[in-house]
Copies of this chain bind each other. A is one copy, B any other.
């Protein structure tokens, strides 16, 4: 399979799995929706699970890249950036296709922590948290690790609530909550 065809497959698979679910979308349906034959798919992916893993890797890279760039576009200082996290989330929540975070979805469909699909979800969260710790350090708070963990709680909670209850107000509430926590962290 040519490299460009492979990327095309992964991108299309990402959309299909996100919209329909990893288990609900089978390889026959995936072939129909992507326009790529099963034989081609199995030329480059040993199994369906291998494809899912590549899909999650691509999603991780794309999401974190977007997230960082979006935050940097929305705010200039580290403190403002910590808050801008939630502005970025708000944009994402209000996308018509929003259906929670692909990694939460993956870890729910494959709940055992030993599962490679689940492990990628854990890695994704570690990388996100590392970024937030970085912002918290730049913001000059006394305990950047603590603040980062607090904001991660809000981040993940907002993602879930926006999906289950609808996107309105969730990110705004999370941002207001973050403001309180950041103010508190700065006053230590």
Contact = CB atoms under 8 A, between A and B. Distances in A.
Given A122-B165, A153-B173, A181-B181, A107 B111 contact: no
B163 A160 contact: no
B150 A153 contact: no
Interface string A1-45: 000000000000000000001011000000000000000000000
A105 B164 CA distance: 11
Nearest to A23: B23
A184 B112 CA distance: 38
Interface in A86-105: 99-100, 103-105
Contacts of A104: 104, 108, 160, 164
Contacts of A159: 160
Number of identical monomers bound together in the oligomeric complex: 2
A68 interface: no
Contacts of A173: 146, 149-150, 153
A161 to B, nearest CB: 6
A164 B107 contact: yes
Given A153-B173, A173-B150, A164 B103 contact: yes
